[in-house]
């Protein structure tokens, strides 16, 4: 028998807020967190903008000695996990924590550490790089550090599926609880990829916007879009078996009811222009949730602000939802946060849960000139109050990864 899986805690560190409430208020109000890159000199660089984390103090979550041993992507992850754990009000014995786990995803991991230690090795010799280089850089250490902090002795893993990483992690955590392997899972994603090499790599791929106007850089579904904007940060959700949460009197924020993943098996970076597997992923997620297409009220789109992604996602929604597609509220909150790569789906999952709670569809903030090929209701400019019971969150990643999550307002 499948068990119900509810959400009892959330935490966020991202370009529009350093906790869930600040993030939601800014997203709801269309506040853009994109601005000039401050982490390195962009004078001779084609890309000038990013969605950087702002006014964040790691010492609220750890001492200076611990912070020095962690890459920023792990610091953001631990901070978001601490927020989520505190909101959930979790307490448990060592024995009970053997059934508590963590899946904290990252698309790239400690890229800043890799860049800095490589430069140090070239200068001083590679035997003199930091002893913390490997544990700071590897992608699984955000999950490991969270498990150590909270004594989570169940499954501890890191899913790496590019920009779909956190969605896979949340979905896998959902299944672990639903199928009886765990009672509590902390799930999400973290990324700190506003670095010279990372921005340079995506620039070479011609994937990034070269706009110097923050309000016209990340503009999903807009006719003038010309690439995505790199973001950074982390988000974590506490997923919990329903009866376990009820027994301890937890406040339930929402419910995860469906999950599916497919692969285009088409191209290393480009989406299948026919969007067959992306649409099938949505259909499978609906089937997993046991609901009809007409039950979905809102979709938090992957919506990267690249020409091919936005057109393909629109086509996939039409294929999966048929005549109901035109009745859906669809928005991309990347218009405010930028694209957080492996962390994006986690931030968007938290936003989707808040949207269901308040029955407000957040906006696609920068959308002013809608592309004719993108013909859905993308909630341009301002949020919309609407009856929301079920919502879907889409994520797609290099390598052909398609992931869909379905959430339900808790009643």
- The 10s digit of each residue's pLDDT in 231-257 is 999 999 999 999 999 999 999 999 999
Mark whether 308 and 238 lie in a shared domain.
no
* Closest-CA residue to 155 (of 237, 98, 117): 98
Q: pLDDT at position 95, please?
A: 87
253 lies in a domain?
A: no
Q: What is the mean pLDDT of residues 287-300?
A: 98
186 lies in a domain?
A: yes
Mark whether 140 and 231 lie in a shared domain.
yes
Mark whether 215 and 342 lie in a shared domain.
no
Give the domain-ending residue among 247, 274, 305.
247
Confidence of residue 92 (pLDDT cuts 50, 70, 90): confident
Give the domain-ending residue among 247, 268, 284.
247
Task: Give me the CATH number covering residue 330.
Answer: 3.40.47.10
214 lies in a domain?
A: yes
Mark whether 151 and 44 lie in a shared domain.
yes
Mark whether 224 and 305 lie in a shared domain.
no
| Catalytic annotation present for 401 | no
Active-site residue (options: 163, 198, 312, 383): 163
What domain range includes position 272?
Answer: 260-408
89 lies in a domain?
A: yes
Active-site residue (options: 32, 281, 302, 374): 302
| Catalytic annotation present for 324 | no
252 lies in a domain?
A: no
Mark whether 176 and 59 lie in a shared domain.
yes
Mark whether 189 and 274 lie in a shared domain.
no
Give the domain-ending residue among 247, 277, 296.
247
Q: What is the mean pLDDT of residues 177-198?
A: 98
Specify the number of domains making up the chain.
2
| Catalytic annotation present for 163 | yes
Confidence of residue 276 (pLDDT cuts 50, 70, 90): very high
| pLDDT tens sequence across 109-154 | 999 999 999 999 999 999 999 999 999 999 999 999 999 999 999 9
Q: pLDDT at position 94, please?
A: 84
Q: pLDDT at position 1, please?
A: 79
Q: pLDDT at position 30, please?
A: 98
Q: Higher model confidence: residue 229 or residue 91? A: 229
Mark whether 207 and 311 lie in a shared domain.
no
254 lies in a domain?
A: no
Mark whether 273 and 393 lie in a shared domain.
yes
Active-site residue (options: 339, 374, 383, 404): 339
Mark whether 95 and 173 lie in a shared domain.
yes
Give me the chain's average pLDDT, please.
97
Mark whether 232 and 300 lie in a shared domain.
no
The verdict on pTM exceeding 0.85 is yes
255 lies in a domain?
A: no
């Amino acid at each position: 028998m499948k068990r119900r899986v509810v959400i009892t805690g959330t935490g966020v560190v991202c370009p529009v807020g350093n906790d869930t409430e600040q993030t939601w208020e800014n997203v709801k109000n269309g506040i853009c967190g994109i601005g000039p890159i401050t982490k390195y000199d962009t004078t001779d660089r084609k890309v000038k903008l990013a969605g950087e984390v702002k006014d964040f103090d790691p010492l609220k979550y750890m001492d200076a000695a611990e912070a020095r041993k962690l890459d920023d992507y792990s610091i953001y992850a631990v901070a978001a996990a601490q927020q989520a754990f505190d909101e959930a009000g979790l307490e448990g014995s060592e024995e009970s924590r053997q059934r508590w786990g963590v899946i904290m995803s990252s698309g790239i991991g400690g890229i800043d550490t890799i860049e800095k230690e490589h430069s140090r090795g070239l200068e001083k010799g590679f035997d003199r790089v930091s002893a913390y280089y490997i544990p700071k850089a590897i992608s699984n250490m955000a999950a490991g550090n969270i498990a150590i902090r909270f004594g989570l002795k169940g499954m501890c893993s890191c899913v790496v599926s590019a920009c779909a990483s956190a969605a896979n992690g949340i979905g896998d955590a959902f299944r672990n609880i639903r199928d009886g392997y765990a009672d509590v899972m902390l799930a999400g994603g973290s990324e700190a990829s506003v670095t010279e090499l990372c921005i340079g790599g995506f620039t070479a791929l011609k994937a990034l916007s070269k706009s110097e106007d923050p309000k016209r850089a990340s503009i999903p579904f807009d006719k003038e879009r010309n690439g995505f904007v790199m973001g950074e940060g982390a988000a974590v959700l506490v997923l919990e078996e329903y009866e376990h949460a009820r027994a301890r009197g937890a406040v339930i924020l929402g419910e995860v009811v469906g999950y599916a993943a497919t692969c285009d098996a088409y191209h290393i970076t480009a989406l299948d222009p026919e969007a067959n597997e992306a649409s099938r992923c949505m259909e499978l997620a609906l089937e997993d949730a046991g609901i009809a297409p007409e039950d979905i009220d809102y979709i938090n789109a992957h919506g990267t602000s690249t020409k091919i992604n936005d057109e393909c996602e629109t086509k996939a929604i039409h294929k999966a939802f048929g005549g109901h597609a035109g009745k859906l509220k669809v928005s991309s909150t990347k218009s405010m946060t930028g694209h957080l790569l492996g962390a994006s789906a986690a931030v968007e999952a938290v936003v989707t849960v808040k949207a269901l709670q308040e029955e407000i569809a957040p906006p696609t903030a920068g959308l002013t000139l809608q592309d004719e090929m993108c013909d859905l209701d993308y909630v341009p400019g301002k949020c919309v109050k609407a009856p929301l019971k079920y919502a879907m969150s889409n994520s797609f990643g290099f390598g052909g990864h398609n992931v869909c999550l379905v959430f339900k307002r808790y009643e």
